[in-house]
Structure 1
Amino acid sequence: MRVCEEPSGLKRADIVVVPGYANPETKPADAYLDALRDAADRGARIAAICTGTFALAAADLLDGRDATTHWRYLEPLRALHPRVNVLENRLFVEDGNLLTSAGGGAGIDACLHLILGDFGVAAAHEAGKEVVASPVRGGAEPQYVDVLSPVRADLSEVRSWAMAHLGEAITVDQLAGRCNLGRRTFIRHFERETGYSPMRWVTMQRVLSARRLLETSDWPVDRIAAATGFGTGSNFRAIFRREVGTTPTAYRRSHPSTPNEVPVR
């Protein structure tokens, strides 16, 4: 990847993306580190892809903050920058205005995460389609699995079933039964594959579906609550505020669009 010789563009950028580079243990030029510090000071968001995390650390922006990088470079990052709280086996980590990610694929996840936050679920799905990537992978999902899972532990089919039945009652025992696994075995394999417990994952999918409906339909809150499996409007409002940080009504107001009858998927 070719990088511009002068970092002057950073003075105007609202979001700065720092790509990975071949020799992360080599300190970048002072001009680039100063530009990163200036961008952070004025409130710009900075996303580091893979070894780009080393540049943020070299600029002292990650001192005392959480960060991650590609699994091959976790120990070098710790050795070079001991004041950084390096988190293992994460796709990406967001700490304030700084976003650090693992390899190239995780960099796509991190960028889709930014789109999701700024423009909503519908925009993130469209961007994900362009790069043939899922826009719903969370930062806590693992970069890799330490233990090889048997073939029958591929739970993509049960996840697809859950997505198609979000409006219905879903239990762990029900999901485990659909793939002929005991409850404990199912939970263990599910967490290996997704990085989340089964019901935590279901809740996240319900919230994403609700966000999409708030963005793209004129359905009342109670109807969205029923369609996405939250039951009552009051239960939906409480969980939505906890997960998204705002109310459904405020979220809809901040993501205006032409209403459409959009089915839950």
Structure 2
Amino acid sequence: MTMTTGFIEARRPPAAPARSWTGARITGHVLMALWAIAGFFLLWYLTEAYFSPFFEKYAEKYVSGFLVTLQIVGISLVIGALLSVPIAMARNSRFALLRWPAYAYVYFFRGTPLLAQTFLIYYGSGTFRPELASVGLWPFFREAWFCVILAFSLNTAAYQAEILRGAIANVPKGQWEGAMALGLSRPVILFKVILPQAMMVALRPYGNEIILMIKGSAIASIVTVFDLMGETRRAYSRSYDFQAYIWAAVFYLFLVEVLRRVWDMLERRLTRHLAR
């Protein structure tokens, strides 16, 4: 009996050393205290600045720029979503004639900066003004607003196409096989069976892409579009008051935080059956 007990004790793995979390807890409390202090001073500063002549003078401009930012991001995301579906289908196609052009499109727009793409469309289109005017497209390309929408839409379409392609590839092949066994056609399977499941997988990456588009929309101000950052630059150039950029940061933070909370609610709503 003693030998058996000794054998069992010999086979028992050594106990893991107790870890002390005292240092980590202290560090966490210190960081939280620093964030609380920084938040208090920022709130105090914004409260004081709210009643300043600067905010009274430029508040309407900030709201106008904020709405322009929402329009740019919203329109670009919708157009990009519409373009991403055929691009993702082409990326997954068995035909090289469809697959390779879609790959080249995604590779270019994901591999080059959005700023360079915007410059190529806005400034580069002037090189082809006679050709564009002959087909009636010059009124479109001479407007910075339309050039920004086009550049942002093409850029986000490439990212959304890759998100959608990866989400579709993540759906088990048994879903295709089961739907085919029921006699459903491939388009019906894709839009009624595969895409709804893929969208649940793609929800989080889509939310990240929207946030990146919101922050990247500041590029529009460089080509004379007076979005939120454009109005910020104009306010600073006239007042030389540093709080111009602080208010811009607050507006961007507010927009991103609202979107994050809405997206979390949407994700919980659409995936509530998985939690069960």
Q: Classify the TM-score, shorter chain.
A: under 0.3
* Greater Rg by CA: 2
Relative to the length of structure 2, the TM-score reads 0.24
Higher strand share: 1
Relative to the length of structure 1, the TM-score reads 0.24
Question: Which of 1 and 2 has higher RCO (CA within 8 Å, sep 6+)?
Answer: 2
